Chain A
Amino acid sequence: MTAAAPVRASVPGPRTPASKARVSKAVRRDWAVGYTMVAPVVLGALAFVVLPLGMVVWYSLHEWNVLAGTFTFAGAANYERLLADPGLADALLASLWFSIGLVVLNITLALLLAVLLDQKLPGTTTFRTFFFSPVVVSLVAWTIVWSFLLQADGGINGFLALLGLEGPNWLRHGTTAMISVIVVQVFKNVGLNMILFLAALQGVPVELQEAARLDGAGAWRRFRSITLPMISPTILLVSIITIVGSLEVFAQIDVLTGGGPGNSTTVLVYYLYQQAFRFNEFGYASAIAVLLFVIVLVLTLLQWQSRKRWVFHEV
Chain B
Amino acid sequence: MKSEVMPEAGDGLPGAGRPGAERSGAGRSRAGRSHAVQPATERPGAAEPAGNMMVLGGPRPDRPPSDRSGVSRAGLRARRRWARGALVALLLLLSVPFVFPTWWMATSSLKPMSEILQAVPTIWPQDPTFEAYGQVFALQPFAQQYWNSLYIAAVVTIGTMLVAAMAGYAFARIGFPGANALFVLVLAGLLVPSEVTIVPLFRIVNGMGLIDTHWPLIVIPVLGAPAVLAVFIMRQFFLALPAELEEAGRMDGLGRWGIFWRIALPLSRSALGAVAIFTFLKSWNLYLEPIVYLSSKDNFTLPQALTQYVDAYGGPMWNVQLAATTLTVLPVLAVFLVAQRQFVQGLAHTGLKG
Contact of B197 among A3, A116, A195, A289 (CB under 8 A): A289
B278 shortest CB reach to chain A, Å: 10
Most interface-central of A113, A193, A289 (chain B CB within 10 A): A289
Q: Chain A, 30-61, contact with B by CB distance < 8 Å: what is the 0/1 string?
A: 11011101101111111111111101100100
Instruction: Known contacts A133-B333, A138-B284; decide if A34 and B170 are in contact (CB<8 Å).
Output: yes
B residues in contact with A293, CB < 8 Å: 191-193, 196
Instruction: Known contacts A130-B99, A195-B348, A250-B288; decide if A45 and B189 are in contact (CB<8 Å).
Output: yes
B residues in contact with A132, CB < 8 Å: 340, 343-344
B residues in contact with A90, CB < 8 Å: none
**Is B307 touching A146 in the complex (CB atoms < 8 A)?**
no
Contact of A125 among B19, B31, B224 (CB under 8 A): B19
Interface members, chain B 307-354 (any A CB < 8 Å): 307, 316, 318, 321-322, 325, 328-329, 332-333, 336-337, 340, 343-344, 347-348, 351-352, 354
Contact of B223 among A43, A199, A207 (CB under 8 A): A43
Instruction: Known contacts A9-B246, A127-B91, A146-B101; decide if A41 and B332 are in contact (CB<8 Å).
Output: no
**Is B199 touching A289 in the complex (CB atoms < 8 A)?**
yes
Q: Is A17 an interface residue (CB 8 A)?
A: no
Interface members, chain A 265-315 (any B CB < 8 Å): 269, 272-273, 276-277, 282, 285-286, 289-290, 292-293, 296-297, 300, 314
Bound-complex Cα distance A214 to B30 (A): 13
Q: Is B152 an interface residue (CB 8 A)?
A: no
Q: Is B172 an interface residue (CB 8 A)?
A: yes
Bound-complex Cα distance A147 to B317 (A): 12
A34 shortest CB reach to chain B, Å: 4
Contact of B84 among A121, A199, A276 (CB under 8 A): A121
B residues in contact with A79, CB < 8 Å: none
Instruction: Known contacts A12-B177, A50-B188, A161-B119; decide if A273 and B91 are in contact (CB<8 Å).
Output: no
A residues in contact with B182, CB < 8 Å: 38, 42
Instruction: Known contacts A41-B231, A48-B220, A52-B204; decide if A292 and B193 are in contact (CB<8 Å).
Output: yes
**Is B192 touching A31 in the complex (CB atoms < 8 A)?**
no
**Is B98 touching A122 in the complex (CB atoms < 8 A)?**
no
Bound-complex Cα distance A122 to B171 (A): 46
**Is A49 touching B189 in the complex (CB atoms < 8 A)?**
yes
Among the stretches B128-136, B137-145, B236-244, the one at the interface with A is B236-244
A residues in contact with B167, CB < 8 Å: 37-38, 40-42
A25 shortest CB reach to chain B, Å: 13
Q: Is A67 an interface residue (CB 8 A)?
A: no
Q: Is A196 an interface residue (CB 8 A)?
A: yes
**Is A269 touching B325 in the complex (CB atoms < 8 A)?**
no
Bound-complex Cα distance A8 to B174 (A): 6
**Is B243 touching A49 in the complex (CB atoms < 8 A)?**
no
B residues in contact with A146, CB < 8 Å: 101
Q: Is A89 an interface residue (CB 8 A)?
A: no
Q: Is A73 an interface residue (CB 8 A)?
A: no
**Is B306 touching A136 in the complex (CB atoms < 8 A)?**
no
**Is B30 touching A162 in the complex (CB atoms < 8 A)?**
no
A240 shortest CB reach to chain B, Å: 11
Bound-complex Cα distance A142 to B100 (A): 11
Among the stretches B2-10, B21-29, B60-68, B70-78, the one at the interface with A is B21-29
Give how many A residues have a beta carbon under 8 Å from the other chain's beta carbons.
Answer: 115
**Is B328 touching A141 in the complex (CB atoms < 8 A)?**
yes
Bound-complex Cα distance A150 to B262 (A): 53
Q: Is B18 an interface residue (CB 8 A)?
A: yes
Q: Chain A, 138-163, contact with B by CB distance < 8 Å: what is the 0/1 string?
A: 11111011111100010100110110
**Is B325 touching A300 in the complex (CB atoms < 8 A)?**
no
Q: Is B69 an interface residue (CB 8 A)?
A: no
**Is A41 touching B164 in the complex (CB atoms < 8 A)?**
yes
A132 shortest CB reach to chain B, Å: 6
Q: Is A137 an interface residue (CB 8 A)?
A: yes
B153 shortest CB reach to chain A, Å: 11
B residues in contact with A8, CB < 8 Å: 173-175
Interface majority SS (helix, strand, loop, mixed), chain B: helix
**Is B176 touching A1 in the complex (CB atoms < 8 A)?**
no
Interface members, chain B 174-195 (any A CB < 8 Å): 174-177, 179, 182, 185-186, 188-195
Interface members, chain A 170-215 (any B CB < 8 Å): 183, 187, 191-193, 195-196, 199, 202, 206-207, 210, 213-214
Closest B-chain residue to A272, C-beta based?
A: B195
Bound-complex Cα distance A92 to B141 (A): 39
Bound-complex Cα distance A127 to B225 (A): 34
A residues in contact with B210, CB < 8 Å: none
A residues in contact with B352, CB < 8 Å: 196, 237, 314
**Is A196 touching B243 in the complex (CB atoms < 8 A)?**
no
B residues in contact with A3, CB < 8 Å: 239-243
Bound-complex Cα distance A75 to B256 (A): 51
B21 shortest CB reach to chain A, Å: 9
Bound-complex Cα distance A1 to B190 (A): 22
**Is B198 touching A53 in the complex (CB atoms < 8 A)?**
no
**Is A1 touching B199 in the complex (CB atoms < 8 A)?**
no
Q: Is A225 an interface residue (CB 8 A)?
A: no
The 7 closest A-B pairs by CB, nearest first: A44-B223, A48-B224, A34-B174, A37-B170, A55-B200, A158-B121, A7-B243
Chain B residues within 8 Å of A, Cβ to Cβ: 14-15, 18-20, 23-24, 26-27, 30-31, 34, 37-38, 43, 45, 52, 55-56, 84, 87-88, 90-91, 94-95, 97-99, 101-102, 104-105, 108, 117, 119-121, 163-164, 166-167, 169-177, 179, 182, 185-186, 188-204, 220, 222-225, 227-228, 231, 239-243, 246, 250, 255-257, 260, 281, 284-285, 287-288, 291-292, 302-304, 306-307, 316, 318, 321-322, 325, 328-329, 332-333, 336-337, 340, 343-344, 347-348, 351-352, 354
Instruction: Enumerate 26 A-B pairs (CB-CB under 8 Å) in ascending A order.
Output: A9-B246, A45-B228, A47-B224, A49-B224, A49-B225, A51-B200, A116-B94, A120-B52, A129-B340, A137-B333, A138-B332, A144-B306, A147-B316, A148-B108, A153-B119, A155-B121, A158-B121, A192-B347, A206-B27, A210-B31, A237-B352, A241-B351, A250-B195, A251-B287, A289-B197, A293-B192
- Other A-B pairs, 9, CB within 8 Å; known A138-B325, A153-B117: A41-B227, A52-B201, A121-B88, A124-B15, A141-B306, A196-B348, A206-B30, A207-B30, A296-B193
